[in-house]
Amino acid sequence: MARSRTAAPTKHDPLTIGELSARSGVAPSALRFYGDVGLLDADRTTGGHRVYPRHALRKVAFIRIAQRVGLSLDEIRQALDRLPADRAPTAKEWARLSTAWRGRLNEQIAELETLRDDLTSCIGCGCLSLRTCALSNPADVAAGRGTGPRYLLGDDPDDVIAEAR
């Protein structure tokens, strides 16, 4: 399965874990983890070493980007299950998959914009018990609405202040 060290690689030769790591920028331990959780398949040489088909480079790039945009490992696995296992996906297959994520990514963008715009105000969870917090969250009334950053989760600060009166 693995080529000799002296033979020049061809476009069909599998990649060793070291080669995949070097080409993808992902540590071998992460590649093994991806295999353990079902995201990346490897064959084994007669000596038991992992080798990967060349299209694994695109799969690893996809996994890294999906993680970067905040997808869970389960979401990534489900997406990969919709792509061909034996070859690199076509541009049309990638486009179909990315289109399915557009709504989710737009929601994340909106949440990040809200976080950016509201970060300097009290977030109403009690963890930032600053003196100014009493203005936006008297006696930590927002905590009575539940755990977490209540204002960033959508609670209206005016409602919280009204409840405090």
Amino acid at 140: D
Whole-number average pLDDT of the chain: 80
Decide if pLDDT at 129 tops 70: no
Q: Tell the residue number behind the tokens 């557009």, with chain if given.
A: 102
CB-based contact 1:46 (threshold 8 Å): yes
**Structural domains of the chain sorted by starting position, each given as residue range(s) with its CATH number in brackets:** 15-118 (1.10.1660.10), 120-165 (no CATH)
Mean pLDDT of 127-139: 54
Strand 43-44 and strand 50-52: pairing? antiparallel
CB-based contact 164:135 (threshold 8 Å): no
Decide if pLDDT at 59 tops 50: yes
Supply the pTM of this predicted model. 0.63
Decide if pLDDT at 122 tops 70: no
Q: How far is CA 73 from the centre of its chain?
A: 7
